[in-house]
Amino acid sequence: MATPFAPFASIRMAWERPTAAVTSLRDGTRATVDLVVIEAYLDELGGSGEQVIGAQAVSGSSISGNLTRWAVAPSGASWLDSGASWTWDETGLRPDGLPRGEKLQTFIGNLSALPAVGQAEIGHVTIATLSPEGGIDGLVRELAGDEFTGIFAAGR
């Protein structure tokens, strides 16, 4: 079931999720990845500043919202494709393995207009926090999807 925030989603993020570990350095160090496309409701785009996420300092605008859906993009697809034929997980729960501190390509704008980007912000979000999974947070996650915060930095 879709989250109540789904109709208001205005941010799309792309994450290269590792699917297998490198087993031999002779074969190269590039691990295979899935391109996971995540959409979210953008609750707040705050002021600029610097925040420490993990051990790294990240500069940009604070951002928060709720995840609404995600899909693994087909091989060769762009993360900015319309996604009309993709298989979406609409629970609002984050995809398996999405870590704190991950830097995701980001589009902020009219998602229904994609693949046209028009008047949009494109950059990166570094994920600072994700909803805890237990207790009362677990109940809220099931209804509203995972909450997230991060730092958005404009530019390609």
pLDDT in tens, 3-25: 999 999 999 999 999 886 666 66
| pLDDT band of 52, cuts 50, 70, 90 | low
Q: What is the mean pLDDT of residues 26-50?
A: 79
| pLDDT band of 28, cuts 50, 70, 90 | low
| pLDDT band of 35, cuts 50, 70, 90 | very high
Asked if 44 and 65 count as a contact pair (C-beta separation under 8 A), the reply is yes
Nearest residue to 66 via CA among 46, 45, 92, 91 = 92
Write down the pTM of the prediction: 0.86
